[in-house]
Amino acid sequence: MSDNSEDELNCVDGVEETPWILYRNRDEWSDVTPLPQDDGPHPIVAIAYSEKFKDAYDYFRAILKSGEKSDRALALTEDCTWLNPANYTVWQYRREILQALGKDLHDELKYTDKMIKYNSKNYQVWHHRKVIVEWLQDPSDELAFTETILCKDAKNYHAWQHRQWCIQTFNLYDKELEYVEQLLKNDVRNNSAWNQRYFVISNTTKFEKEVIDKEIDFALEKIELANENESAWNYLRGVLLHDPNGLGYNEKVRLKCYRMYESGCRTNHLLACMIDISQETFTTEEFILSPYFVDSAIGLCKALSKKHDKIRRRYWDYIATVLQDKMNEELESD
């Protein structure tokens, strides 16, 4: 629960509104008997609600009980959402009032603009906007709107979730890759943008060979810019899941990793990728690309365990043991 300051409640976007008057002192509400919250006779930890909050919600409970759907009830829900934007019941009742009164839903979208500006990580506010867009069947403002939010917080989960819903529901994929590429140009480590790229590719292709090749090239290019960037490595692995040959037999990836290793790169993501390649192509015979020889892979596990990824030491020790056991079995079978 949030109890917004009076400045936020009564001065939105720099526009001064009328001074706050408690509902019990408003003549137009004199016919309503407020309904206090019932916390039982002996509340263990009573919440110290402000007088403003208790007053508004006492009246909200009263109209909720009576089922009143009027302009004044709608205005009351607006005050209540500002006082506590996470209250699901208030938002749900507001939607019922909007429908009952046949209100202009475009005006409601403008209202959510202000609410999200001050509560950009609040689920209920975003859910309300989603419902209004569904009712309107008009997503024309949504991509631009989410962009404004993402400009301030590029990893806002709710904004991305809303954007993906709009794109998928109303088939708005056309220019999304361009948008994502610009985000990655600005910040190659933006994991949300990488996720969005995978979302678009997954929903607009069947991961045909040319698509896989293109996306591998894209990921490797970004890895070249920041080889310690986990997001790009994860994206590469995600794309290779759709390659019939898998990670182990993609020569482009194998060669790139080998060259990075030979140039002195020791980022833990590179070493982990090389170990995975070795596991998929397991053999005791030494490859031309020597780092993929199983004995070399065991050495990579030890390097990760002792130096490059010590926080996951036990994991890499386990993988080294698995590889060693497989190698012993292979040698015994020969």
Residue 3 covered by a domain: no
Quick one: which of 112, 109, 105 has its CA closest to 82?
Answer: 112
**CATH number of the domain within which 34 lies:** 1.25.40
Burial annotation 83-115 (CB, 10 A radius, 16+ → b, else e): bbbebeebbbbbbebbeeeeeebeebbebbeeb
Are 292 and 254 a contacting pair, CB within 8 Å? Answer: yes
Q: How far apart are CA 126 and CA 143, in angstroms?
A: 14
pLDDT tens, 276-314? 998 888 654 544 445 667 888 999 999 999 999 999 999
pLDDT tens, 219-247? 999 999 999 999 999 999 999 999 998 88
The pLDDT value given to residue 334 = 61
Q: Which of 86-100, 174-188, 318-332 has the lowest mean pLDDT?
A: 318-332
Look at residue 332 and tell me whether its pLDDT is greater than 90: no
pLDDT tens, 111-162? 999 999 999 999 999 999 999 999 999 999 999 999 999 999 999 999 999 9
Residue 177 covered by a domain: no
Residue 149 covered by a domain: no
Angle at 108 between CA 103 and CA 114, to 5 degrees: 155
The pLDDT value given to residue 15 = 39
pLDDT tens, 33-89? 999 988 777 777 777 789 999 999 999 999 999 999 999 999 999 999 999 999 999
Q: Looking at 58, 73, 103, which one is the last position of a domain?
A: 103
Q: Is 32 helix (H, G, I), strand (E, B) or coil?
A: coil
Q: Looking at 103, 124, 141, which one is the last position of a domain?
A: 103
Are 19 and 11 a contacting pair, CB within 8 Å? Answer: no
Q: Tell me the pLDDT band of 10, cut-offs 50, 70 and 90.
A: low
* 255, amino acid identity: L
The pLDDT value given to residue 13 = 42
Residue 135 covered by a domain: no
Task: Identify each DSSP E strand in the chain by its residue range.
Answer: 11-12, 15-16
Residue 30 covered by a domain: yes
Q: Which of 121, 152, 185, 307 is catalytic?
A: 121
pLDDT tens, 151-182? 999 999 999 999 999 999 999 999 999 999 99
The pLDDT value given to residue 290 = 53
Residue 27 covered by a domain: yes
Are 103 and 77 a contacting pair, CB within 8 Å? Answer: no
Name the CA radius of gyration of the chain, rounded. Answer: 29
How many structural domains compose the chain? 2
The pLDDT value given to residue 11 = 42
pTM for the structure as a whole: 0.88
Q: Is 286 helix (H, G, I), strand (E, B) or coil?
A: coil
Residue 160 covered by a domain: no
Q: How far apart are CA 47 and CA 217, in angstroms?
A: 56
The pLDDT value given to residue 330 = 72
Residue 99 covered by a domain: yes
Residue 185, token pair as written in the block? 């140009």
* Structural domain for 30, as ranges: 16-103
Q: Looking at 46, 73, 103, which one is the last position of a domain?
A: 103
Are 250 and 216 a contacting pair, CB within 8 Å? Answer: yes
- The torsion defined by the Cα of 257, 261, 267 and 270, in degrees rounded to 10, comes to 20
The pLDDT value given to residue 57 = 97
Residues 11-22, mean pLDDT to the nearest whole number: 62
In the residue annotation, 52 being an active-site residue is answered as no
Q: Is 12 helix (H, G, I), strand (E, B) or coil?
A: strand
* Cα atoms in the Cβ-side hemisphere of radius 13 Å centred on 312: 13
